Amino acid sequence: MNAKLLLMLAALGLVPIALSYGIAPGSSLPYLLGFSVETTNHTHVFRAIMGLYLANAAFWLIAAVTPALQHAALWVLFLFMAGLAAGRILSILVDGMPNAVLMFYLLAELAFAILAALTLSKINTAE
């Protein structure tokens, strides 16, 4: 896959998830994930996650239009998505199956990790 397109798709896909976690976690998370966000500490954690996700999305968008950053951004994309997927797989093994939204996230994370690895492989082969 084209590095620019992959980075743009990953960024655009991550932004709504980030916003759903951090804009109003007390409203969105009970609906999406089935648990309540009741304390300042809960809200704080989800807003920090939003910031992390938005920072990665911003880097991927900048790299999509800055060829010199694309190799590094693909590595960040691979590590970010593979790390999330690995944590989810561990949770499935230890804790059991999550809801359908979280299973969709797992599939998307695996797909993006695989696409990033394939794109990196293609770039490394071309060099």
- Say what the pLDDT of residue 87 is: 98
Are 67 and 2 within 8 A, CB to CB? no
- Say what the pLDDT of residue 124 is: 80
Q: Which token pair is 70?
A: 């694309």
Q: What is the mean pLDDT of residues 98-105?
A: 95
* pTM of the predicted protein model: 0.92
- Say what the pLDDT of residue 125 is: 86
- Say what the pLDDT of residue 98 is: 96
Give 34's contacts (C-beta < 8 A, 6+ positions apart): 99
**Between 123 and 126, the higher pLDDT residue:** 123
Are 38 and 21 within 8 A, CB to CB? no
- Say what the pLDDT of residue 97 is: 97
Q: At what angle do helices 3-22 and 100-126 cross, to 10 degrees?
A: 150
